């Protein structure tokens, strides 16, 4: 089962990942993406979310 990790220092809160995978990511009050559904990677194109992140803050492990 792949796992997605956010580098919060790199995240700039653009919300692209939230739009692509709303069941996996949510923007927090700190305007950084957070993982709300680590087991929901299958509900969206997680690979695309990782690739579209403008700051390469997301990695799949
Ligand atoms: S796409 Fe990247 S920079 Fe944008 S909110 Fe998600 S993790 Fe942060």
State how far the Cα of 53 lies from the Cα of 13, in Å rounded to an integer: 10
In a domain, 60, yes or no: no
Q: What is the pTM of this model?
A: 0.95
In a domain, 45, yes or no: yes
Instruction: Say what the pLDDT of residue 20 is.
Output: 98
Looking only at the bridges linking them, the beta strands covering 4-6 and 25-27 are unpaired
In a domain, 36, yes or no: yes
In a domain, 12, yes or no: yes
Measured by CA distance, the residue closest to atom 4 of ligand 1 is 14
Instruction: Say what the pLDDT of residue 3 is.
Output: 96
Which residue numbers in the chain have pLDDT < 50? none
Instruction: Say what the pLDDT of residue 1 is.
Output: 78
Instruction: Say what the pLDDT of residue 14 is.
Output: 98
State how far the Cα of 8 lies from the Cα of 45, in Å rounded to an integer: 21
The CATH number given to whatever domain includes residue 20 is 3.30.70.20
Q: 28: domain range? A: 4-55
Structural domain total, the chain:
1
Query: What are the helix (H) ranges across 1-61?
Result: 16-20, 46-52
Select from 49, 57, 59, 60 the residue to mutate for testing ligand 1; criterion: most ligand atoms less than 8 Å from CB: 57
């Amino acid at each position: 089962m792949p796992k997605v990790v956010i580098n919060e220092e790199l995240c700039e809160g653009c919300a692209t990942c939230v739009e692509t995978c709303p069941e996996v990511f949510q923007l927090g009050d700190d305007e950084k993406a957070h993982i709300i559904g680590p087991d929901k990677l299958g509900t969206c194109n997680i690979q695309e979310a990782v690739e579209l992140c403008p700051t390469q803050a997301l990695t799949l492990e």
